[in-house]
Structure 1
Amino acid sequence: MKTDVLVVGAGFSGSVVSRQLADSGKTVVIIDKRSHIAGNAYDTNDKHGILVHTYGPHIFHTNSQEVFSYLSAFTKWRPYEHRVLASIDGQLLPIPINIDTVNRLYGLNLDEEGLKSYFESVRDPRDPIKTSEDAIVNIVGWDLYKKFYKGYTNKQWGLDPSELFASVAARVPVRTNHDDRYFTDTHQAMPLDGYTEMFSRMLDHPGITIRLGVEYQKIRQEYSPKHLVYTGPIDEYFDFCFGKLPYRSLFFEHEHLPTVQKFQQVGTVNYPNEHEYTRITEFKHLTGQEHSGTSIVREYPKAEGDPYYPIPRPENDELFKRYQKLAEKEKGVTFVGRLAQYRYYNMDQVVGAALSASKSILDEI
């Protein structure tokens, strides 16, 4: 079968590229091995009528007006500022660490300048900063590092923070004010009708054909596209010829509590030092739904399973670069997305990368 473009993967990357190319008059076939669109952002009503994120919480935030405006063509928004608490020594404390975190944890009454002086007195200066351990102890010292970061990182990645790039820790900043929002981006909101509905509108175009429940390797011979857009794992595309790229996976334990209206104070509570799971998210905080019960999800990181997070370590980066060199030699193929580019992208970064890739593809075909 002929088509201008075959797109592998119906998550953010594949869907954005598909819509951009279809709007430019190209015929597009988009496939996904799962039975649904929207990738890991897929949400659906559970059997109790509560909108839940099947693959864990997805909180949209961005400083990019271009990305926000683009997605706004396919959804209205519910303003939402995500807040997270961490269970530490019997208390629920704000994370990222801020002035209230430190004051409540240690029974202090510091102001902003006092907190800066406190951090200066407890920090363990590191230069250069190479690892996540370096990045944290350099700012807040060892006690806060052990209480908030070390255990969580060990669970999340199966590695010590000293074994991971500093960029991992940099995703959770440290603040000296009272700001308890998890993100500080200009735009913070949730798709009003959910992510799946947003994707459905994005892919609703006469130039786009959707095929679900099919694997690329099994149907690749059916098509002769002018261009291929691949958003899956780059090592899988090349039949793991250099070995498998390491990914961290997750197991999601969903639970409905029929007689509980509100399970926790905020959208997400982290458990750095207790339980096998890393966090619990309560979806009604995110969606604003009214319901007599509530639905939550616990996240258990694991080594095997669907690839969710590229593991940011030097040796993994070197292995990816070997695959990247092969990718650069592939004619008529664009690799885009978290798995294809082996990057720990946020959703808005994925959209930005997909918009950029779309322009390059249109220049080519």
Structure 2
Amino acid sequence: MTSRFQFTIHATDGKARTGEVAMRRGTIRTPAFMPVGTAATVKAMKPADVRASGADIILGNTYHLMLRPTAERVARLGGLHAFMGWERPILTDSGGYQVMSLSELTKRDETGVEFKSHLDGTRHLMSPERSMEIQRLLGSDIVMAFDELVPTTSTKDVQAAAMARSMRWAKRSREAFLGGGAHADNAAQFGIQQGALDEELRGQSAAALTEIGFDGYAIGGLAVGEGQAAMFGCLDFAPGQLPADQPRYLMGVGKPDDIVGAVERGVDMFDCVLPTRSGRTGQAFTRTGPINIRNAKFAEDRGPIDPECGCPVCATWERAYLHHLVRAGEILGAMLMTEHNLYFYQALMIDLRGAIATGTLNAFASGFRARYAGAKESDA
């Protein structure tokens, strides 16, 4: 049987690495991009089409699934994989970010976070133990520790307190995960580094997580409005503070040029709603930058979204047709735009893996940035 969790690095180029994570439900090629399946679906996509785009793993959301249809119901129906028809690995986030950003907080203390659902106002408690229980009921392959997120604009004292609490919650998360019986024998768990943009706090967080011991490590608390320059400044040191022989996952990132820069700095895994959300709102990603297919100039454009793209959408439909679908509010427009965007993201990961393997990452990244930044502002 395939190992529960085994990370192998095949090649490096500077700080960047390419390799694979072997799990019982399949192998994850790294660097990897995980499409987001918030509520047991990658929006506007069938699971088989998500897989055909090149995705090895998807992300599910603990907060949303605990509220609807509930983790207990998913468990009774055979677990998240069977429920949604996705047979490969699933990573579930801990719910911490959504608890802080979407719900009405009523109390936050050492126990956890009490909050009101954004759906119906019902009260819930999310603690490290409850988050691990939900992820176990869902049947997650990669379980995330529960943490506390504060804005990067908070004072250092606030950031330090939140980081310290996150580390105490990480220890409780680890204990609850390991006490989860058979699920823990077949799943992996990642700890989440916190500390905002502060190198000292990030270092303390990394040391605490490493002492606890996880299968992989996430870099949390970024992509929350600090800007690319600040994010990259943090990534210049944060990945290197984490164990070199285990995967590093940058949560919630991001734009294609964000991903390229983060890979250069040693990150292995990514997730973001951007390709699917953008697809539903008429934005398509191309090798020369994003375009807004709603723009009038595409009304009679006979070309594909991206002439260099090999996805089924670009091989079949013209920009003019997609422009019509999106402007008319047709469901097919959201489906086709999302499909193209997911293919674009997975093609970028293939290119990054190939460039690292051949020692040409610097040339690839420089060329990508030069072309991608060349898009006219009116197209974005």
Q: TM-score range by the shorter chain?
A: under 0.3
Greater helix content: 2
Greater RCO (CA < 8 Å, at least 6 residues apart): 1
- The alignment's TM-score, normalised by the length of structure 2, stands at 0.22
Structure number with larger C-alpha Rg: 1
- The alignment's TM-score, normalised by the length of structure 1, stands at 0.23
